[in-house]
Structure formats: C-alpha cells, structure tokens
Chains A and B, each alone.
Chain A
Amino acid sequence: MRVNYQTNVTPRLRVLSEDQIEQIVYEAMDVLQQTGTRVYEEEALTLLRGAGCVIDGENLVHIPAWLIEASIQSAPSRVLLGGRDREKRIALEKNRIYFGTGSDCPFLTDPCTSERRRYTKEDIYRAAKITEALPQIDFHMSLGLTSDVPVGTYDRHQLLAMLRGTTKPLVITAIDREGLADQLEMACAVVGGVDEWRKLPLFAVYVEPTSPLDNSREAVEKLLFAAEKNIPLIYTPCPICGATGPATMAGNLVQGLAECLAGLVISQLKRKGAAVIIGGVMSILDMTTTVLSYGAPELPLLSAAMTNIAQYLGLPVFSTAGCSDAKTFDQQAAIESTLSIAFAALSGANLIHDVGYLESGLNGSYDMLVMSNEIISGVKRILCGVPVDAEHLALEAIRRVGPGGHYLMDEHTMKHFRNEFWVPELLDRSNWDTWQSRGGKTLKMRVHDKVLDLIEHYAPPPIPEKTERELEKIVARADEAHRAEEVTQP
C-alpha cells in the first residue's frame, strides 16, 4: 500500500498566499470605510445611508466592514449564462475557465483591404460569426463599437448583430439604463420570456466604476437595474498602475477590489442575492508612451492575483487575456496573447475577456481572435496535466518494447496517442520542403486565410424569423425615440 500519496491532476498557479489575500481584502475594506468612495446616484445613496453608511457631503460614502462582509455572503458564488442556443451554457464557478472577446474597439483592420478603419454593424456581425465558429471561444462581446448607426441606440443594434452571428452566451455593454432595459426585452424575446431569462440569462452586462473610487450616475443606474431585473452584473474597473491606481501591484489590487466591492454592496442592497462578477482590466501605464498596456507582463500577474482574491471571497471573476499593444497582428501580438492566455487559464478565472484586442484595446482583430483560439487550445492541453496511473505509467509497454525497440506500432501507442497529443490546426510543424511546397505561408498568412474563409463561408444558425422581427421592432422603437439626436459619423 502506498501512503501519503497526493495527486496533482492539473498544474496550478498561485500568485498570492491566503494570508496575503486576507490582508488585501482587509485593506480594501479599510479604503471603503476610511477614504470612502463617491457615488453620484440618488437611489444608491439612499440605500447606502439606510444601511448605515456615513455620507460626507453629497456623495462621499464610507462603507462599514460588516456591510461589505454581509454583501459578499449574500451574493452567489456561481452564475449561469446560456446562449441563444440554450445548450451553450457556461457556469461561472470556482476554477471553471471560459474565454471570450472584448467589446467596443473603435477600429479594425479591414480583412480585405488591410486598411485601419472604424467598425460597422456588418463588422460586429462578422466578429460574432467568427466567435461562433471557434471552439475555444465560449462567450462573446461585441469586439467593436459600430459607427454607422444612431449614437443613442448603438447598443441595441450591436446586440441584434451579435445575436445574428452567434448562439453563444454574451456579455453586453449598454449606453444607459434605458439601453439595458431594451436589451433585456430583446433577450427575453429570444429565450421565451422573463421566467426563462431568470432560469438561464442570455447575457451579463459589463459596467465600470471610474478609477479611482468614483461611481458615475450612468454606471450606478445600470447596476441598480441589473440587480432588480436579475441581470448578472460585471462591475469591474480598469485601475491603471501609476495613473488611476497606485503604481505598486498590491496597491492596485487593494483599490481595484475596493471599487468592485462598492458596486457589490449597492447591488446587494437593491436586491439580496443579485449576481455580481468582480475583477477587472488591471495593468500599468507605460511611462514612455502613456499607453495603458494590454501586453505588459504585469497584466497577467495582476489578473491572476485578482482571481486568487475573488476565489477566496467566493465570487465569480472577470479577467483579461489574449490582448496586445501591437498595432497589427504580428509576432508581438502572438507573444503577448500567449503569455496572458496561459496565465489566466492557469489562474482559474471565469470570464476571461479581451481575446482579439490589438493596439491596447483600440483595434478589435479577427486575426488575433482566430490565432488566440489556437493558443487557448494549446494551453488547455497543458492544463490537462500528466495523468499518473498504471496505464499511463506504461510499464507493460516499456517491458514489451524493451531496449532497442520502438513504440510506433505498439498497441499502447495506438491506444493513447490521440488523447495524449495535442494536434495544432494553424501552427505548422512540417519540414522545410513540405512547407515550401504548400506555399511557404507564415502563421500570419495562414491565420488570415482562415479569417477570410470564415467570413465568406461560415453561416451561423439563423434566428427564427418571428423572433428576428420582434427584435427589429424593439431596435426600431429605440431609433424612433432617439431620432431627434444628431448623428455625426466620425
């Protein structure tokens, strides 16, 4: 009998010890109680005051520790999302990882002309379609911000385009409370009513506090509506080390966590049990270029640390990976995407977003998305770890083959190689001659071929016609209501 035997089924990554996590959590509570956070929304202020918060002046809220602890307690540690295809379900619970795109980039590189131009509704649809086709992308965000529809209703147009393109779960953004309400109505039309929505919501909404420690009226209105209507809420900041957050990693985590927790408290006061996902885009300000870096090694480090913290608190977490500061889809993009994807996956974060971002979040790239799909796939192979048992230790096969033999035709090889070996799709392992004879294409070219192929030939399952008409009606109603607002196309 073998005793004291431990297995490690999957490799693990841990950035912070439990003691360090506790210290960060306590300091975040200290920030909320002592420094306080600004809230620019009346109903939230009333709720906070009623719950025992001290409010300095008109909107500086000091939140006591017990209220934060109670809010962490009452929020669910598990959140479900399901796509238009109700079978495409993701469960945001400890150590379950899902990858998805980011939202709202102003620019894309035109797949045909290579020109850098602004996103259109058609581009938003294509992005969703590509997500639909990629097996490693589990949820979808718009990737771009469309510039060819009315400014006051672009969020509804984008949801419609996304729904057309993909049957996977979504993370949406909303202009305001009204935009969120319309999108909820659209989602209910898709899933078949409010009760179906409550059983399995179609999307989570992404709302951001303003670092440092501000909660805008617009953000809090959306937060309150989400809490009330059972919309899973991602309330996460982008504290930039050295600019809108402390330069030190630990300090940035303290502030970022405090910003998430402030939103958590308000949402639990609005409705106990409301689903809140914490986390954020956490990175540094590059002190030469003044860019918020999406490729810096500090991003995966901070993101993994934040995941450690969220898991400790028992809350689902929104993380960041698959993004880059590179201006075009190039070697830098590949390096930065790989680093952050590997780290985020190892950390066990739930919604890992921004896959496909180039240019520090300004260019939503199809090529980056398609390549990252392959990176995620490879990383997941590593995450499967090394199974160690009699069959996998292969002593019998080793005996059979013996010194000087080979394994190529052994039954053990036949039985296992398909499961044990990861097979790339886009990465090329052929030798020089073969590669040459196939056109000598670089990874960049092969990825782009796939992008063009998907755009041209991939057809996502259509929305039932009746539903489609209902959706169009809601969008048209919103356009009508905002008709008076001026639209200047940039």
Chain B
Amino acid sequence: MSDALLQLRNAVIDGRVKELEALTSAALSAGLTPKEILDNGLVQGMQVVGSEFKEGKKFVPEVLFSARAMQVSLNILKPLLAQTGTKMVGKVVIGTVKGDLHDIGKNLVGMMMEGAGFEVVDLGRDVAPEKFVEVVRRENADILALSALLTTTMRAMDQTIKMLKEANVRDAVKVMVGGAPVTADFALKIGADSYGSTAADAAEIAKKLIHAS
C-alpha cells in the first residue's frame, strides 16, 4: 500500500477528522485515482473500525469520529467520482415518524450509514408520511429508514408504506424500520423490506438491501 493510502487509512481509523482534507489532497496530487483512495484507503480504514467495534475494542464515539473523517474525504472525492461515473453506495432518507420525538437512535443510525458510505438525508423527528414520500421521490432515494420509539407511533410506519404505494414509489425504494418497540414480526406485517435492532445492524442491512436490488 502506498504511503499516502496508509496515512489516509490510519487517519480514518483514528478518527483524525481535521487531517483528512490535507491527506486527501496529498493523495490526489501523488496521482492516486479517487476510486483507489476510496476503496484502498477510506473503506479499508472503516473496515478495521467496524471489526474493532464488533470486538469491543472501539466504542461508538470513536466509530462516529472515523465516519466523520471519511465524510470529509468523501466530500472532496464525490464530484471527481461522479465525473468518472463511479456510483456512491446509495442514498438514504431517514427520519423519526410522525408524533414521535425520540431522535438519538435515529441520529446514530444515520451516522453509521454515513460511515458505511451512504449519502444520508435526515428529515429529523415528527416527520409526516407525506413528507417522507415527497423527499424519497425528489431525492430518488435507494433506502427509506424509519425510526419509531413508541407503540403508539409505530402505526405511522404502516401509514408511510401505504402512502409510498399510493404514490407509486414503493417499488423504487427499500424500506427499513427500527426503534425500541419495533420487532421483526411487525416489520414483516407492515411490508417493510427489513428491520434492524441497532445502528450497527442498520448499516450492514442497508448494504445488503442495496446489493440485492
């Protein structure tokens, strides 16, 4: 591995957010292609972070800083990647459903997905089904991620999926649901594509959903 890539990879692993801009520019100047930087530097760094997290060696804030570090680099690479026709992993629209104000779990899911290379559009909390449908369509999203923390707001997930159908966008987007009172059974019942019980799960599942489609 070239020196520049190794430095990038390590900076991502350590979550040294401030250094990523300079390191990315240096790597580009050294003649590395955006795709090489992404695949052999950033993604490899995040893979190390991911497995260390699973082993209990790294903790959530460290993972989030690594994800942020990768984002800094990605922001530089994105336009260049687009020029060469390389596709990003995918686009996610995320939010907490109508009537529900719990948002920290949803925030974590969003950040973990960013760490996995997704572009994430976060609509915040207390989001109406209509709003989800509108943004999914406008953004041409690959995945819609819905969070609910209340038994009483879970039905808004159901309503959102129904509304996606009515608007004829259900087939164009994968829907994943989660949040403390949500279960895999419930996800199945309302016709969601997937359910995840933690933010780490969520990122893995999202990747699978994308590859399956």
B199 touches A290 (CB 8 A): yes
Q: How far is the CA of A406 from the CA of B63 in the complex (A)?
A: 65
Q: How far is the CA of A362 from the CA of B183 in the complex (A)?
A: 12
Residue of B nearest to A147 (CB): B151
Given known pairs A362-B181, A490-B181, the reply for A290 and B105 (CB within 8 Å) is: yes
Across-interface contacts of B101 in A (CB, < 8 A): 210, 216
Across-interface contacts of A106 in B (CB, < 8 A): 151, 180-181
Residues 191-228 of chain A, each 1 if its beta carbon lies under 8 Å from chain B, else 0:
00000000000000000001000001000000000000
Interface of A is mostly: loop
Across-interface contacts of A154 in B (CB, < 8 A): 152
B57 CB, nearest partner CB in chain A, Å: 10
B61 touches A488 (CB 8 A): no
Q: How far is the CA of A244 from the CA of B107 in the complex (A)?
A: 11
B186 touches A490 (CB 8 A): yes
Q: Does B212 contact A (CB under 8 A)?
A: no
Given known pairs A210-B101, A289-B198, A362-B180, the reply for A486 and B155 (CB within 8 Å) is: yes
B151 touches A242 (CB 8 A): no
Across-interface contacts of B198 in A (CB, < 8 A): 289-290
A288 touches B105 (CB 8 A): no
Question: B151, B159, B180, B199: which contacts A490 (Cβ < 8 A)?
Answer: B151
Across-interface contacts of B60 in A (CB, < 8 A): 285, 287-288, 290
Q: How far is the CA of A106 from the CA of B181 in the complex (A)?
A: 6
Q: How far is the CA of A308 from the CA of B77 in the complex (A)?
A: 53
- Chain A interface size range: 20 to 34
Q: How far is the CA of A151 from the CA of B100 in the complex (A)?
A: 13
B180 touches A287 (CB 8 A): no
Q: How far is the CA of A289 from the CA of B56 in the complex (A)?
A: 10
A243 touches B104 (CB 8 A): yes
B109 CB, nearest partner CB in chain A, Å: 9
Q: How far is the CA of A231 from the CA of B61 in the complex (A)?
A: 41
Task: Mark out the residues of chain B between 114 and 158 whose CB falls within 8 Å of any chain A CB in the assembled complex.
Answer: 150-152, 154-155, 158
Q: How far is the CA of A92 from the CA of B159 in the complex (A)?
A: 44
Task: Mark out the residues of chain A between 280 and 323 whose CB falls within 8 Å of any chain B CB in the assembled complex.
Answer: 285, 287-290
Given known pairs A216-B101, A243-B104, the reply for A145 and B61 (CB within 8 Å) is: no
Task: Mark out the residues of chain A between 225 and 242 whose CB falls within 8 Å of any chain B CB in the assembled complex.
Answer: 240, 242
Across-interface contacts of A490 in B (CB, < 8 A): 151, 154-155, 181, 186
Task: Mark out the residues of chain A between 242 and 286 whose CB falls within 8 Å of any chain B CB in the assembled complex.
Answer: 242-244, 285
Question: B56, B108, B150, B159: which contacts A290 (Cβ < 8 A)?
Answer: B108
Q: How far is the CA of A362 from the CA of B59 in the complex (A)?
A: 23
Across-interface contacts of A285 in B (CB, < 8 A): 60, 104
Residue of B nearest to A151 (CB): B152
Top 8 closest A-B pairs, CB basis?
A: A287-B59, A106-B181, A488-B155, A287-B60, A151-B152, A490-B154, A243-B104, A106-B151
Interface residues of B (CB under 8 A from A): 56, 59-61, 101, 104-105, 108, 150-152, 154-155, 158-159, 180-181, 186, 198-199
Interface residues of A (CB under 8 A from B): 106-107, 118, 145, 147, 151, 154, 175, 210, 216, 240, 242-244, 285, 287-290, 362, 486-488, 490
Beyond known contacts A210-B101, A490-B181: 12 more, CB 8 A cutoff: A106-B181, A118-B151, A147-B151, A151-B155, A175-B152, A244-B104, A285-B60, A287-B59, A287-B61, A290-B60, A486-B155, A490-B151
